[in-house]
Structure 1
Amino acid sequence: MAASNPLKIIDISQTGPSTPAELLDALTTQGFVFVDGHDFTQEEVDSLFDLSRAFFQLPSDYKQRYSIVGNTGYITFTKENLDPAKKDDFKEGLNLSDLDLATGELNPAQLIPDWIKDDDARYELIKSSIRKLNSLNLKLLESIAVALEIEDSGECAGAQWFTSRYDPKLKSGSTLRFLHYPVLNSNNSEGEIRAGAHTDYGSMTLLFQRRNQEGLEIYSPISKRWEKVPYVETENTGAAMAPPIVMNIGDLLSYWTAGLLKSTIHRVKFDASESRKEDRYSIVFFSHPSDETLLEPVPSPLIRARARSGRGVTKDEAKGEFITALEHLQRKLAPTYQ
């Protein structure tokens, strides 16, 4: 029996006037949505997962030569702790940050595994994926701006309010991340928390997940309980288009909109009642604006009253000034890595 799906599915290839409103409704209620009608083929997604699996199968001593510095590099088991109130997360990952969002190039000054950068096919796949994920990110941000009725200014048109803060020539926290959650034998009747409960740090997150490798759960703002996010397919799914991508709001979009858009708490849990035979692999793109972007209120009539009421957490209390995207990211990363 197919698992129930708590999330709406929005087909962004259907560019009718109702699409932005449908997207906004999903993001102001659940904070998560399935995005269909994207531009990724099944072959591209399969190739990304093949690359991910092959990397994590490399010897441990090789991977640890590229251990994370800042927000780039390999993350070994129990290195990361997304929920400080719980035990360390038992997973491994690879973060590729400091990206050129226009070309997909990785900064050569970063410690990138030569297994990737010295192999033309792997590196081209990485670059192409970064470009396409950022393009999808910008398309979604523009749709959200339209739905929010953001006002035009001398700086930019309202529909480009978010995207104008994504200058590809400037540094940002945007990150492509590969994750591996191995199956473990466990007698824990409550199941295993493999990524602690947290919200994401950036503007929005785009996630690929695989059939039979589920585990993502959201704490639904509607039902006030944990809900499993299943793997889904639609009538669009096939060789020409991969299954819908999970998209969720991060802290920055929540702050910008004074909490109107939900940065929903989520986790990865392996339920003890499941007969899990496969490791879980996921691929994530974390979207961040340029580092010096201020987290100031969005000029939208839909959220102006919320900002006046003090909702949103965009100011440095000591200085009474709006913080930047980089300052927010640094504050969130500090307790995450031991």
Structure 2
Amino acid sequence: MAKVAKIPVIDISADSDQDQRQVAKELVEAAVEHGFIYIKNTGKDFPVEAVEGAFELSKKLFNAPLEEKQACTYQPNNRGWSAMHYETLDPKNQRVGDFKEAFNFGEFINGKAQQPLPASIASHESQISAFRDLCYNMCLKINTLLGIGLGVNPPDFFTQAHLTTRGTSGTILRLLYYPPLPQTTASPTDIRAGAHSDYGSITLLFRLKGQAGLEILTPDNTWAPVPVCPPGTENDPAPPILVNIGDLLSYWTNGLLRSTVHRVVFPGPEKGVVVEGETDTEPRYSMAFFCHPVGTTPLDVVPSERVQKFRPEGQRDGEPRKVMTADEHLQMRLRASYKQMYSDKE
């Protein structure tokens, strides 16, 4: 049987400067070694009822009539509904697209979405906006802690780059729905979401208790399931929020912070992938907040001695590195995942 992923659980709710520095250190070391971190959800930074309410809206959205969702179909600005098999996250190894539906929400201005919404959830626009704000504020806090932990000068370097007051960004709130195996045309060897690493700076992932499927690729090149509730969190008010480093932040820090490959599978004993208390008998819902810096942000050298001294394997001292903007980095990744959307626009 596959061993579950060993990912640190960190409580970032500390208030004192001394405690914050310790938390920042732990956060950075987890980001360097694992690329994934469980953030303990005490309800202080993220009200439990807000998470529960967002999941209820997600179920309502994906149960909406097909024509409602089709009227909000995915657009080149990375917003809207994508149907089953529309996205292919691992095109080299997948015979068909991902076995999932998704809905991407871009920015809200004064609580109003800047995109069409399905009628079934349109009256909940302010609730979605408020949940997105909670996610955004938590990402700002994590970015600040990463800056402190890396000794960046100034410590709010990453945070400043993510401030919406400085411009628009590729930040997206994504709701996801994965049907169970019997309700699909999939075989047990098919993948629900292909192996990939995330595009942006950091991702917040919310999951429901008992719903299996997420795996990460470990350093020894094996897949390990990621429990929704790791040991010690079973009795918390809500499952911990899973945070992972994205490609952009890894690139920005010269590879010091790890962007870990992960996937979503149809789990089962035949694969040796079983997490106690988790099953695939019901639909799987998750919510991801993909945080990006302001699009015009240049991804040049981070003002951190630790980052500047770090050399990934194969890179020589003084070797030039291409500097691109946050938007250029995002567009590069989107074109690889949505070939049918972009191929006729070249």
Give yes or no for TM over 0.5: yes
CA contact (8 A) 1:295 1:324 kept: yes
Shift in alpha-carbon separation, 1:104–1:33, aligned structure 2, 3 A: farther
Range that drifts further, 296-305 or 282-291: 296-305
- Deviation of the 1:53 alpha carbon: 0.6
Give TM-score, length-normalised by structure 1: 0.86
Unmatched segments (≥5 aa) in structure 1:
152-157, 317-321
Instruction: Show the counterpart of 1:155.
Output: none
Shift in alpha-carbon separation, 1:271–1:236, aligned structure 2, 3 A: closer
Instruction: Show the counterpart of 1:226.
Output: 223
* CA displacement 1:198-242 (0-9 Å, x = unmatched): 010000000000112121111023x43111000116777778x42
State how far apart, in whole Å, the 2-side matches of 1:61 and 1:303 are: 49
Aligned-partner residue type, residue 85 of structure 2? T
Aligned-partner residue type, residue 203 of structure 2? T
Please state if 1:124 is matched with 2:126. yes
Please state if 1:66 is matched with 2:62. no
Q: CA RMSD in A?
A: 2.6
Match of 1:266 among 246, 258, 262: 262
State how far apart, in whole Å, the 2-side matches of 1:328 and 1:140 are: 21
Please state if 1:47 is matched with 2:73. no
CA contact (8 A) 1:27 1:262 kept: yes
Aligned-partner residue type, residue 90 of structure 2? D
Aligned-partner residue type, residue 259 of structure 1? G
Instruction: Show the counterpart of 2:84.
Output: 77
* CA displacement 1:265-314 (0-9 Å, x = unmatched): 00001123266211100001000000001111111111212369459x99
Number of residue pairs matched by the alignment: 316
Shift in alpha-carbon separation, 1:89–1:187, aligned structure 2, 3 A: closer
Please state if 1:291 is matched with 2:289. no
CA contact (8 A) 1:254 1:263 kept: yes
The DSSP-based 3-state class of the residue aligned with 1:334 is: helix
* CA displacement 1:16-43 (0-9 Å, x = unmatched): 1321111111110110010014522322
Shift in alpha-carbon separation, 1:188–1:112, aligned structure 2, 3 A: closer
* CA displacement 1:161-182 (0-9 Å, x = unmatched): 0011123131100000000000
State how far apart, in whole Å, the 2-side matches of 1:32 and 1:104 are: 31
Shift in alpha-carbon separation, 1:162–1:104, aligned structure 2, 3 A: farther
- Deviation of the 1:256 alpha carbon: 1.0
State how far apart, in whole Å, the 2-side matches of 1:277 and 1:92 are: 18
Range that drifts further, 273-282 or 242-251: 273-282
State how far apart, in whole Å, the 1-side matches of 2:262 and 2:53 are: 27
Shift in alpha-carbon separation, 1:238–1:42, aligned structure 2, 3 A: farther
1:104-119 correspondence to structure 2 within 5 Å: 105-107=112-114, 110-117=115-122, 119=123
Instruction: Show the counterpart of 2:162.
Output: 166
CA contact (8 A) 1:42 1:238 kept: no
State how far apart, in whole Å, the 2-side matches of 1:190 and 1:300 are: 46
Shift in alpha-carbon separation, 1:215–1:98, aligned structure 2, 3 A: same
CA contact (8 A) 2:200 2:330 kept: yes
Aligned-partner residue type, residue 56 of structure 1? F
Give TM-score, length-normalised by structure 2: 0.84
Please state if 1:22 is matched with 2:18. no
CA contact (8 A) 1:97 1:176 kept: yes
The DSSP-based 3-state class of the residue aligned with 2:128 is: helix
Aligned-partner residue type, residue 58 of structure 1? A
- Deviation of the 1:65 alpha carbon: 1.1
State how far apart, in whole Å, the 2-side matches of 1:105 and 1:290 are: 20
Range that drifts further, 25-34 or 190-199: 190-199
- Deviation of the 1:115 alpha carbon: 3.3
Shift in alpha-carbon separation, 1:323–1:67, aligned structure 2, 3 A: same
- Structure showing the higher helix proportion among its residues: 2
CA contact (8 A) 1:200 1:249 kept: yes
Match of 2:285 among 277, 281, 286: 281
Instruction: Show the counterpart of 1:6.
Output: 6
1:224-263 correspondence to structure 2 within 5 Å: 224-232=221-229, 241-263=237-259
Aligned-partner residue type, residue 61 of structure 2? F
CA contact (8 A) 1:204 1:286 kept: yes
The DSSP-based 3-state class of the residue aligned with 1:335 is: helix
Instruction: Show the counterpart of 2:205.
Output: 207
Aligned-partner residue type, residue 300 of structure 2? E
CA contact (8 A) 1:99 1:172 kept: no
Please state if 1:327 is matched with 2:312. no
State how far apart, in whole Å, the 1-side matches of 2:230 and 2:52 are: 15
Displacement over 6 Å in runs of 4+: 186-189, 233-239
Match of 1:96 among 89, 101, 105: 105
